Amino acid sequence: MGTFITMLPTFGVGLVAFLVLVSVFDSISKIALFASLLVFNPVVKWGVYASSFALGVFLLGPVEGATVADASLQAGPAIVTRLVVGNLILAVIATALGYVAIHRLATRYDATELGDALETFVDDTLEASSDR
């Protein structure tokens, strides 16, 4: 859920959705939700938006008058449509790939072993960064 919500062009509303989900459902992993914010941070999201728009243009065709030099306000809804269509497709793909990757990790390692491996990785990373 975190990957899907974070990939959508919510412009900050996704964080509110996370807070609502965490307060409504006890079984949702807060760590998993907020980890998606680390992966799809504001810097990465602009690349996602550009890819989403390009995919939307590929599927729905170019927007008349929507160039960098001469963008019109009338093209706004068409641009947003292409962005959202492309973004939904990319969000579904990223969510499915993320689910498969996490499911394979979870079934390969038990929780204690995975937690120990993650703790070791974090400790090694912190040590490496402090040595610099």
State the angle between helix axes of 42-60 and 76-108 in degrees (0 to 180), rounded to the nearest 10.
120
Predicted confidence (pLDDT) per residue in 51-77, tens digit: 888 898 899 988 876 654 444 445 578
Instruction: Give 76-93 pLDDT, tens digit per residue.
Output: 788 888 888 999 999 999
Domain borders along the chain are 2-131
Q: What is the pLDDT of residue 66?
A: 64
Q: Report pLDDT for 105.
A: 79
Strand positions, DSSP E, 4-131: none
As a whole number, mean pLDDT of residues 111-132 equals 73
